[in-house]
Amino acid sequence: MANMRFPDEIPPSVFGGGGGGGSIFDMAGTSSCEASGGGGDKWWGSLGFMDLLGIHQDFVAPSLFDSFNHPPILPPPSSAELAAVFHHHDDTLLNKLNTNNNTKQQQQLHQGSLSSPVASTVPEYSEVLNNPATPNSSSISSSSNEVTANDEQNKAGDHDDVDKTKKPLKLKKKNQKRQREPRFAFMTKSEIDHLDDGYRWRKYGQKAVKNSPYPRSYYRCTTAGCGVKKRVERSSDDPTTVVTTYEGQHTHPCPIMPRGTIGFAMDSSSFGSSSFVVPQPHFLHQHQQQLQPYIYTSSPSLNITTTSSNSNHHPLLNGFNYPNSSALALRDHGLLQDIVPTPMRREAKGEDE
């Protein structure tokens, strides 16, 4: 598979608003740590999508998984122009989302976890807007009992499947209902179905989606022992929108840790629950309030710009290469302004000059 990359220089263009309903990350292409291995001169240039997701996740709460029990504090959504992230246990949510962008369910999602960030009642799934989340973050491991349990279960299951020859596979333990790992779903505007997030995925299945002309693809993280899965499907309502659902939690860092990530990497010990260092911009918490909705719109020409009022010019981003869509997204939205500490920005700028 060819790694999609952005051209080194991307002229500014129109940063269109996201479509209706749901959150939209607009990305024109994909990239990965892998892809950026050669060209990522800038710390930022090779920042993987998942890294960013991780960042955003942290943005949501010190532990996003904690938010399963404690809804994250979120900035208010900006109506339709929202970058929505769902973490849920309900498989049907996305289907419903796809088939009806304005369902009552969605409204409940919005109301439940957005307008009432500290709501005491937590729906089985909750929506996290403007905070692209990922299972990948050390900060979530502390409350990911279910994940680890499931990982083990998965591994055990895999072994069983492998050891036992062929057909009697799936001899799953009876009476043991398969537990779903927490899921994070988000919608992106993209021409590319499979957004490269820096991790290595192996496609293990594809199914036709009911009421949709677009198939759903199933991916699994290829790293040994990592049972993270990913589902990718294109919205039937809005073919330009790709719904990506992550399931599980990476037990490893990004296969190719982008150099730039160092800038974000915090000592995992400072979070007390990390088995590896991942971007942990805890300073984000201080800036939560400034969060802008992530509305990323790509155009076929990959021209992207921003409409965000406070993102007209980012010293940090001046002259940066944009080998990946996430970078674009952030640049686009001036997000770095909010999430990157000034010293870091300065440093980056200096490096850039």
Partner DNA sequence: CGCCTTTGACCGGCGC
Partner DNA sequence: GCGCCGGTCAAAGGCG
Residue 224 binds DNA, judged by CB under 7 A: no
Choose the binding region for DNA from 109-117, 160-168, 300-308, 344-352 (rule: CB under 7 A): 160-168
Whichever of 85 and 209 has its CB closer to DNA, that residue is 209
CB of 147 to DNA, least distance (A): 14
Residue 118 binds DNA, judged by CB under 7 A: no
> In one letter, which amino acid is 138?
S
Helix axes 325-333, 49-60, angle to 10 degrees: 40
Strand partners, 247: 183, 229
CB of 209 to DNA, least distance (A): 6
Choose the binding region for DNA from 17-25, 171-179, 257-265, 272-280 (rule: CB under 7 A): 171-179
Residue 156 binds DNA, judged by CB under 7 A: no
Q: Phi, psi (5° rounding) for residue 187? A: -105, 140
Binding DNA (rule: CB under 7 A), the pick from 216, 234, 331, 345 is: 216
Question: Cα separation of 159 and 32, whole Å?
Answer: 30
Whichever of 135 and 281 has its CB closer to DNA, that residue is 135
Question: Cα separation of 145 and 181, whole Å?
Answer: 10
CB of 250 to DNA, least distance (A): 15
Binding DNA (rule: CB under 7 A), the pick from 69, 108, 206, 269 is: 206
Q: Which residues contact 271 (CB under 8 A, 6 or more apart)?
A: 62, 138, 139, 142, 280, 282
Residue 219 binds DNA, judged by CB under 7 A: yes
Whichever of 203 and 282 has its CB closer to DNA, that residue is 203
Whichever of 229 and 234 has its CB closer to DNA, that residue is 229
Window 68 to 107, contacts with DNA (CB under 7 A): 91, 95
Residue 167 binds DNA, judged by CB under 7 A: yes
Residue recorded with tokens 């499931």: 150
Whichever of 176 and 309 has its CB closer to DNA, that residue is 176
**Strand pairing of 201-208 and 229-234?**
unpaired
Choose the binding region for DNA from 119-127, 165-173, 306-314, 322-330 (rule: CB under 7 A): 165-173
Whichever of 186 and 219 has its CB closer to DNA, that residue is 219
Binding DNA (rule: CB under 7 A), the pick from 21, 157, 182, 323 is: 157
CB of 253 to DNA, least distance (A): 16
Tokens of 131: 């905070």
Whichever of 199 and 264 has its CB closer to DNA, that residue is 199
Residue 161 binds DNA, judged by CB under 7 A: yes
Q: What is the dihedral of CA 340, 182, 85, 301, to 10 degrees?
A: 80
State the alpha helices, DSSP H only, in the chain.
33-36, 49-60, 92-99, 104-110, 145-163, 284-287, 325-333, 335-339, 342-352
Q: Which long-range contacts (CB under 8 A, 24 or more apart) does 208-216 make?
A: 209/95, 209/98, 209/233, 209/236, 210/95, 211/95, 211/98, 211/99, 211/236, 212/98, 212/236, 214/239
- Count residues contacting DNA (CB under 7 A)? 35
Strand partners, 234: 242
Question: Cα separation of 70 and 72, whole Å?
Answer: 6
Residue 218 binds DNA, judged by CB under 7 A: yes
Residue 159 binds DNA, judged by CB under 7 A: no
Instruction: Note the residue count of the chain.
Output: 353
Choose the binding region for DNA from 121-129, 203-211, 293-301, 318-326 (rule: CB under 7 A): 203-211
CB of 247 to DNA, least distance (A): 7
CB of 200 to DNA, least distance (A): 4
Question: Cα separation of 352 and 337, whole Å?
Answer: 16
Contacting positions for DNA (CB under 7 A): 1, 91, 95, 157-158, 161-162, 166-172, 177-178, 194, 200-207, 209-210, 216-220, 222, 229, 231
